Structure 1
């Protein structure tokens, strides 16, 4: 089940938070609840992806994107993800989530998110390819930035993001059926 009440809590909690620049980092605190765990009593890998919403949506609000999405009747969708899991998050453990736009190109925004344990260790790290869409398809990040009143150029994509973009472009689509 989607954590609707947790999302509502995050949106209320950050409704008056100071605006962030487009490339700013949204930091939030969370806890691994029993509804988040798997059979091994740790944060489920799929639930991790869902919990990252709790960072992305408030980030979008704080940079002014949610307002523009509503005004323009646009939507935001995820077009790809790569996640690296490195440390277990156990039931009731507190984590800090960090969310930011790393860079963008002519079609997509690349969002970086991570969860950090109280001892300072990074538990997991995700790279998302996000798109803003309208009835005609993908809205270019340049057009989105213009609607947001921003003229911020994309930061240079780090080599590891460039590598992921290139590798994903080589990936066959649709996948083979056996």
Structure 2
């Protein structure tokens, strides 16, 4: 089940946080609850992806994207993700989540999200490819950034992000059926 109550809590907790730049980092704090775990008593990998929403939506609010999306009747969708899991987050363990945009190209905005354990170790690292859409399809990110009133000078993609973009471009779609 989607964590609606936790999302509402995050939006209330961060409603008065200062605005962030388009490339700013939103930091939030969470706990792994019993309904988040798998058979090994740790944060389930699928639930990790759901919980990352708890960082992305407040980030979108703080950078001014949510208000622009409401005005323009735009939506946000996720178009891909790559996650690296490195440390377990156990039941009742607290963790910090950091969320930020790292790059955009002609179609997508790339978001980096991490979960950090209290001992300072990174538990996981996700790179999302997101798109802002309207009824006609994908809205170019430069148009989105401009509508937000932010500097739309495109930065160079970090090498690891560009590597993922290049790999995704080579991936067949639709996938082969055997």
TM-score (norm 2): 0.99
1:151, CA displacement in angstroms?
Answer: 2.3
Distance 1:95 1:155 in 2: 30
Q: Does 1:88 align with 2:80?
A: no
TM-score (norm 1): 0.99
Distance 1:59 1:23 in 2: 10
RMSD: 0.6
Q: Does 1:166 align with 2:170?
A: no
1:153, CA displacement in angstroms?
Answer: 1.8
SS at match of 1:89: coil
Alignment partner, residue 124 of structure 2: 124
**1:44-95 Cα shifts (integer Å, max 9, x gaps):** 0000000000000000000000000000000000000000000000000000
Distance 1:153 1:28 in 2: 28
Distance 1:155 1:17 in 2: 26
Alignment partner, residue 144 of structure 1: 144
Distance 2:26 2:155 in 1: 17
Distance 1:156 1:92 in 2: 39
